[in-house]
Amino acid sequence: MLAVMRTKIISGRELRHRAPEESLSPGESLRVEKRDGKVFELRRVDTGERDILSDLDQIIEEIPRTGPSHVTDMASIIIEDRE
């Protein structure tokens, strides 16, 4: 089944004075046509819900390890900072 994308056309002035991109439905796009002939297209793309914990795990895995690991006692560091 082919999804039909709807497009709204507005001017650059309208884009500056309001936020029409907030009212877009998923798959809907907004075309901005400026007086000098430039055309920009904003499209709403919903990727679904994201899990912040899995994203954090992925970021930690991508960070290169630069040296030997060591144990850090965060509780004692916090207590020292408060004193």
Q: Say which residue, 58 or 47, is predicted with more confidence.
A: 58
Sorting pLDDT into bands at 50, 70 and 90, what band is 3? very low
Q: How confident is the model at residue 1 (pLDDT cuts 50, 70, 90)?
A: very low
- 49 vs 4: which has the higher pLDDT: 49
**Distance separating the N- and C-terminal Cα atoms of the chain:** 65
In a domain, 81, yes or no: no
Dihedral, CA atoms, 43, 49, 55, 57, nearest 10 degrees?
A: -160
Q: Which domain holds residue 32?
A: 1-62
Taking 80 as the threshold, does the pLDDT of residue 78 lie above it?
A: yes
For residue 12, the surrounding DSSP H or E stretch is helix 12-17
Residue 72 lies in a domain: no
Q: Is residue 1 part of a domain?
A: yes
Residue 41 lies in a domain: yes
Query: How many domains does the chain contain in total?
Result: 1
The answer to whether residue 33 is domain-embedded is yes
- Residues 8-49: pLDDT tens digits? 666 667 767 777 766 777 777 778 887 888 888 877 777 677
Any domain includes 79: no
Q: Is residue 32 part of a domain?
A: yes
Residue 69, in any domain of the structure: no
